[in-house]
Amino acid sequence: MSGDLLQHLRDIVGDAAVTTNVTDMAPYLEERRGLYVGKAAAIVRPGSTAEVSAVMKLAHETGTIVVPQGGNTGLVGGQTPDQSGEAIVLNLSRMNAVRGIDAQNNTLSVDAGVTLAAAQDAAAASERLFPLSLASEGTCQIGGNLATNAGGTAVLHYGNARDLVLGLEIVLADGRIWDGMRSLRKDNTGYDLKQLFLGSEGTLGIITGAVLKLFPAPKSHATAIAAVPGPAEAVSLLRQIEADSGGAITSFELMPRIGIEMVTTHVPGARDPLSDPSPWYVLVELSSGGDGAQINALLETSLAAAIEKNWVSDAAVAQSDSQASAFWQLREAMSDAQRHEGGSIKHDVSVPISNITLFLERALQAVHAELPNIRPVPFGHLGDGNIHFNLSQPIGMDSEAFLQQWTHFNHLVHGIALGLGGSISAEHGIGQLKRDEMATLKSDVELDLMRTLKRTLDPKGILNPGKVISV
């Protein structure tokens, strides 16, 4: 990159907001699992939408590649530049203002660089709930959450990130600003343009602001862990509690015994809440605007009925907020606990809930047939059909040798999910990791439409090239 271009960038955002030192750039260039490590000409950290606009106008005029980035918590390499060293990473962390809250309208307006936890806190300060919840919520940012259509633990009740957005502010590839920061729930005046950018992973435009939906803050929660013989009984339990509670379930998570053991082994303070081991567990949470004792009793009654039907062998209902947090720690720490067990090959798949049991049966059989001592750790959001089918290396196997089989196991597991009407990316996105599979997933018409959108909105191909789809 020329010195003149760097100086122009500094003129736009300020000297302190342009980083070219190799050591200082390093944290922005590596994906959190270490699968992707890129190079960049500079890290540029704008402080306003106007600055993002000016940077993009300059990039468009000079043909400079721009990789948008939020909290750098993505898991598919969508936020990581390639090895050319020609790109600038446009990190939006400085754009972290809460623009306003309208409690009467149940909306929250934020900059894209606001962390998910900060958005949740802003809503809570007005006795409202922003329900998107992820393990990385202290670090991940709203812009990245929306650009990847993040899911999380409350999709069952509130939907994915795209379901929680009323308006967006977008900077286009040529620097133009689309102000779509509308807070209407009904606006039937043409194309719903915001949906183009939600889930587009920064390939069509850069999200700089958002109007988010809020909900009444629940006054009480009931949280339980239940031991179940298998996924089929877990699905039956889900449907029973749904019926018994009138749809008050906000989370329903599936966990295997091996995952519980990894967490209790490697996470200080974590413990098994039930006396006897079970092959599978579910973590269920109900939310209510009413009395806590009532919703706790409802959950206990529903679990007791499931025990009578042999769907549940044992269960514990949290008796305090701290106990509920301890239950949630078992689920939220599961992926990180795997790191202590060596190499881990990840999958983020979804299938219709009616096919969850069949998917797990086929996938478990298939991976064991390939590598008998492999240690599958399938867990996740059973309530919306999303399973993180993670594979830990066999004990004693070389980690690098195991991770070299990543693509092989991806194709194996993805093929089973697709054969059951599923998806290879439920909530993590496509990024670099799954881009080459898109050609086999989408019809020619879908691919043509996607490429047409990309060429129309980014004619020079400068916005996050090499991600989502090959043009």
Residue range 321-358, pLDDT digits in tens: 999 999 999 999 999 999 999 999 999 999 999 999 99
Residue pair 271/326 in contact by the 8 Å Cβ criterion: yes
CATH topology (fold) of 342-432:
Alpha-Beta Plaits (3.30.70)
Q: Domain limits of the chain? A: 3-91, 98-216, 220-335, 342-432
What confidence tens digit (pLDDT) does each residue in 114-132 have? 999 999 999 999 999 999 9
CATH of the structural domain 3-91, one choice from 3.40.250.10, 3.20.20.70, 3.30.43.10, 3.30.460.10: 3.30.43.10
pLDDT of residue 325: 96
CATH code assigned to 220-335? 3.30.70.2190
Parallel, antiparallel or unpaired: strands 215-216 and 128-129: antiparallel
Q: Do the two domains 220-335 and 342-432 of this chain adopt the same fold?
A: yes
Question: Any residues with CB less than 8 A from the CB of 321 and at least 6 apart, and which?
Answer: none
H-assigned helices in 14-149: 22-29, 49-62, 116-125, 142-147
Distance, CA of 425 to chain centre: 10
Encode the chain (471 residues) as per-residue pLDDT tens digits: 678 999 999 999 999 999 999 999 999 999 988 889 999 999 999 999 999 999 999 999 999 999 999 999 998 999 999 999 999 999 999 999 999 999 999 999 999 999 999 999 999 999 999 999 998 999 999 999 999 999 999 999 999 999 999 999 999 999 999 999 999 999 999 999 999 999 999 999 999 999 999 999 999 999 999 999 999 999 999 999 999 998 899 999 999 999 999 999 999 999 999 999 999 999 999 999 888 889 999 999 999 999 999 999 999 999 999 999 999 999 999 999 999 999 999 999 999 999 999 999 999 999 999 999 999 999 999 999 999 999 999 999 999 999 999 999 999 999 999 999 999 999 999 999 999 998 888 999 999 999 999 999 999 999 999 999 988
pLDDT of residue 471: 81
CATH topology (fold) of 98-216:
3.30.465
pLDDT of residue 426: 93
What b/e sequence results for 159-182 when a residue is b if at least 16 CB atoms lie within 10 Å of its CB, and e otherwise?
ebbeebbbbbbbbbbbbebeebbe
pLDDT of residue 146: 98
DSSP string, 125-190: HTTEE-----TTTTT-BHHHHHHTT---TTHHHH--GGGGEEEEEEE-TTS-EEEE----S---SS
Reported pTM: 0.94
> Residue 286 is inside which H or E element, if any?
strand 280-288
What b/e sequence results for 316-331 when a residue is b if at least 16 CB atoms lie within 10 Å of its CB, and e otherwise?
bbbeeeeebebbbebb
Residue pair 146/165 in contact by the 8 Å Cβ criterion: yes
